[in-house]
């Protein structure tokens, strides 16, 4: 009994066999547990592989992506170079302003009262502000080029997600007087017109950049490093003289208003250096306030508008006849009866003059006398002369928009076309081309380049005619302004003046219409020319339309003041001018 009880206790101490209990009995096959274990092992290996891939192979990519969440590259704007006149007076400069920007998502919970205040400070309507902020973009500009004082008031509102960015705004102290010379920049401070566009590369400089860390509200919390330092633009000194520019602008404006003209232009060139001392156009605009600008206001007519120059072309044609020995100043041409037939066409003079010397052909502005001299030349010869002085070619003056004008190839000329071109019909030029061509008379036969940048030395020109021919032409052109000439209103007390009037019908739709362009190109003083002044009045409607009546007085007013401004010594003893009521009008 004792032994049996001992065995029972021993069996009890060992417990019941695992497989003997129906509750604990394993009913699943053993291979499934092994399969689960295998898949867990595979997943573990995959996780290790992915971790190794991310930590080793994709480190640079992931760091870059992470950095994009908080790091930003900020542009450091370069300051645009100043533009000054030849005496250092500032014509264009950059002033610091602010761009107001926002993160639309962060502004959504802003009280409406603050948003109304923001819209008021920005100068826009509540609806426009709401439209900007109701955007799915992460960044929007609310307004560019805001004055610093206004920007400070905006930041004082404390609107989350609204911040400022430093930028620059171009300011033009001379306003409309200098508009067509200087031009203007856009909101990105990139040149759009005038010298702002022509000298963009040097004026703009190069922006810099730096890497910073920003929080979600756009605030800079750490400056990482500078990537590139900004390089400010270079200052530009123009040949323009602000005082002379204002003189030209004032007198041109008076003439355009007096004659109720459509437009006008004037240019003043230093005859010694080729520097443009003044260039003005009307209508004009204020580059500081460009709202509602029209194409007519933007057009730089001195450079971009072409017209038939009329009789201002005659001195160039006659000069070549003198240069080649075909005529002398005393050679006589019969212009009676004031009509000349060339094939089926007829040309005429405004006044029947009869026999005229070459000098008188210039003084009286005879179309017939000029045509007879021109027909002694070959078409190729005349074409080469005109191209040499710059007609039909785009002026290389470093100024955008300058046009070439129209000069057809000589191979297509008919005799009547050769004749009419000699006195400025059938050819188109710009005012600056005409002014430059007259340097051959002011510079003793040399054609000199024209520039808008200040130079300190005399330039070497291209010989076109001899100094003898140039001096002969100066005397002939001086007679144009004397009693009996077509431009007596171009005379200036104390100075000898030479020049030529021009009047031409305008072409519209391929046909001549009863609209006119009146121009005058001249220089002074005759003894030693210092300035060349060209004036063009487009479509004068009151007080006449001839160049001698409309443009010549403007030339006189501008030139007189310019010569005094430059302290040019007078070369005439005439101290007062009596108006010539019997002045001859040029032929058209």
Show which residues are catalytic.
311
Residue 200 Cα to chain centre, angstroms: 10
- In angstroms, the CA 21 to CA 6 distance is 24
- 543: tokens are 């007080």
CB 150, CB 121: distance < 8 Å:
yes
Q: 467-480 and 314-323 helices cross at what angle (nearest 10)? A: 140
Helix (H, G, I), strand (E, B) or coil at 216: coil
- 503: tokens are 């009047």
b or e along 56-93 (b: 16 or more beta carbons within 10 Å of the residue's beta carbon)? eeeeeeeeeeeeeeeeeebeebbbbbbbbbbeeeebbb
The DSSP 8-state label assigned to residue 175 in this structure reads G
Residue 196 Cα to chain centre, angstroms: 6
* Residues forming a β-bridge with 510: none
Q: What phi-psi label fits residue 82: left (phi over 0), alpha (psi between -120 and 50 degrees) or beta?
A: beta
- 330: tokens are 């005393």
CB 207, CB 75: distance < 8 Å:
yes
**Residue 25 contacts by C-beta under 8 Å, 6 or more apart in sequence?**
19
- In angstroms, the CA 164 to CA 284 distance is 34
- In angstroms, the CA 66 to CA 69 distance is 5
- In angstroms, the CA 405 to CA 431 distance is 10
- In angstroms, the CA 464 to CA 437 distance is 10
Pairing of strands 263-270, 276-282: antiparallel
The sheet carrying 276-282 orders its strands as 276-282, 263-270, 531-538, 511-524, 498-508
* Residues forming a β-bridge with 146: 98
- In angstroms, the CA 423 to CA 372 distance is 11
Q: Which residue has the tokens 């010594």?
A: 569
**Residue 476 contacts by C-beta under 8 Å, 6 or more apart in sequence?**
315, 318, 329, 358, 359, 362, 363
Sequential DSSP letters for 155-211: HHT--TTEEEEEEEEEE-TTGGGSHHHH--B-TTS-B-SHHHHHTHHHHH-B-EEEE
């Amino acid at each position: 009994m004792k032994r049996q009880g001992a065995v029972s206790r021993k069996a009890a101490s060992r417990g019941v066999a695992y497989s003997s209990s129906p509750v604990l009995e394993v009913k699943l096959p053993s291979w499934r547990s092994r399969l689960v274990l295998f898949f867990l092992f595979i997943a573990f290996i995959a996780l290790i592989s992915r971790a190794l891939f991310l930590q080793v192979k994709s480190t640079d990519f992931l760091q870059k992506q992470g950095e994009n969440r908080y790091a930003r590259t900020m542009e450091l704007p370069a300051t645009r170079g100043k533009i000054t006149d030849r005496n250092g007076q500032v014509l264009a400069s950059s002033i610091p302003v602010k761009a107001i920007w926002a993160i639309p998502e962060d502004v959504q919970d802003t009280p409406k009262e603050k948003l109304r205040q923001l819209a008021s400070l920005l100068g826009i309507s509540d609806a426009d502000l709401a439209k900007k902020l109701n955007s799915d973009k992460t960044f929007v500009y609310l307004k560019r080029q805001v004055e610093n004082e206004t920007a400070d008031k905006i930041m004082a509102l404390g609107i989350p997600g609204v911040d400022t960015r430093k930028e620059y705004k171009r300011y033009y102290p001379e306003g409309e007087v200098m508009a067509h010379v200087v031009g203007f920049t856009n909101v990105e401070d990139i040149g759009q017109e005038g010298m702002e566009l022509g000298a963009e590369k040097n004026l703009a400089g190069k922006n810099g950049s730096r890497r910073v860390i920003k929080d979600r509200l756009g605030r800079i919390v750490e400056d990482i490093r500078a990537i590139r330092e900004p390089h400010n633009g270079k200052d530009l000194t123009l040949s323009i003289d602000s005082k002379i520019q204002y003189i030209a602008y004032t007198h041109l404006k008076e003439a355009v208003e007096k004659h109720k003209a459509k437009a006008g232009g004037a240019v003043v060139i230093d005859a010694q250096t080729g520097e443009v001392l003044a260039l003005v156009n009307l209508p004009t605009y204020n580059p500081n306030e460009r709202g509602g600008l029209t194409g007519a206001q933007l057009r730089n007519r001195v450079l971009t508008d072409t017209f038939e120059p009329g009789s201002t072309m005659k001195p160039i044609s006659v000069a070549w006849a003198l240069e080649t020995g075909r005529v002398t100043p005393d050679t006589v041409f019969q212009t009676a009866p004031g009509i000349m037939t060339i094939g089926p066409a007829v040309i005429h003079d405004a006044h029947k003059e009869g026999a005229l010397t070459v000098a008188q052909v210039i003084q009286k502005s005879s179309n017939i006398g000029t045509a007879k001299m021109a027909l002694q030349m070959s078409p190729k010869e005349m074409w080469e002369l005109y191209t040499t002085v710059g007609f039909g070619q785009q002026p290389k003056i470093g100024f955008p928009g300058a046009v070439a004008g129209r000069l057809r190839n000589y191979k297509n000329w008919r005799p009547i076309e050769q004749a009419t071109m000699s006195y400025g019909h059938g050819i188109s030029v710009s005012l600056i081309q005409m002014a430059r061509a007259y340097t051959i008379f002011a510079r003793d036969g040399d054609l000199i380049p024209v520039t808008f940048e200040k130079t300190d030395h005399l330039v070497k020109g291209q010989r076109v005619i001899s100094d003898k021919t140039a001096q002969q032409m100066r005397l002939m052109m001086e007679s144009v302004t004397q009693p009996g000439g077509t431009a007596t209103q171009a005379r200036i007390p104390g100075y000898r003046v030479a020049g030529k009037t021009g009047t031409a019908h305008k072409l519209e739709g391929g046909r001549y219409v009863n609209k006119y362009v009146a121009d005058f190109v001249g220089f002074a003083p005759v003894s030693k020319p210092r300035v060349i002044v060209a004036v063009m009045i487009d479509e004068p409607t009151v007080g006449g339309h001839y160049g001698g009546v409309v443009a010549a007085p403007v030339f006189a007013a501008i030139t007189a003041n310019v010569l005094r401004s430059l302290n040019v010594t007078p070369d005439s003893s005439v101290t007062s001018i009596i108006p010539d009521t019997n002045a001859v009008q040029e032929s058209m």
